Amino acid sequence: MALTETRPEQVASSRSGLGFAYLMSSIALGCIVISWIFGSIFAPHLVTTAGSADTGYTHQHIALVAFSTWIWYVIAIAMVLPAAIRGIRAQVTDRAPWTVLGLGGGGIWLTVMFLSIFVPVTVVGTAPWLTWFPFAAMFAPLGGVIVTGLLCKSVKAAFFEPALSRLQSGSAQPTAGPELTGDDPAARLRRLAQLRDSGVITEGDFEMKKDELLSQM
């Protein structure tokens, strides 16, 4: 008969150890959202030229970045969030992978934000028919998604997946408990008392077996 013992201090220690994991995950996801918001607001617009020499020329501004790049930010969140959940389920308390995921992922998307906002636009066409196209703002989020995917894949493969496999294999193994085996009568008597206290055997069974063990001492 196997007996298991729950240790509250171990559970509390595991939860407190995952505090850093929650912090780094929040940093990574927060930087993605910040890059999304500020990049959509402050990224250069697509500017086209319309009109004629007789009526005059006008410039049309189109918020192409805000309309077309949001999907990349959603994909990035869909990459980081499952990776973080994987690590939390595996109870990884080592700070190294979480630092890589949090600061690495956050740094990627802050870089995407600065590239989207500050890299000059590309001017194509001949005057007066000019078009100002924000190539950097359009393709920087795509690059961020690619690098974020590689980062999440590397962290999961190197840290989270092995830890989760060890955790699952450890929980599948039977827990060793007190058994009525061994050559020391005193040790067997203590195990017998544990079984009685846990209600596995009755008081009468305990007294009968105790008499047998005491006769062997």
Domain ranges of the chain: 8-172, 185-216
Range in 26-40, 125-139, 195-209 with the lowest mean pLDDT: 195-209
35 near 105, Cβ under 8 Å?
no
Q: Encoding tokens for residue 89? A: 């389920």
What mean pLDDT do residues 147-172 have? 88
Which distant-in-sequence residues (6+ apart) come within 8 Å of 100 by Cβ? Answer: 151, 155
Q: What is the mean pLDDT of the chain?
A: 84
Which pTM value belongs to this model? 0.70
What mean pLDDT do residues 158-187 have? 68
What mean pLDDT do residues 168-189 have? 60
Q: Which sign, positive or negative, has the C-alpha torsion 20, 22, 24, 27? A: negative
Q: Is 165 helix (H, G, I), strand (E, B) or coil?
A: helix
Judged against a pLDDT cut of 80, whether residue 86 lies above it is answered with: yes
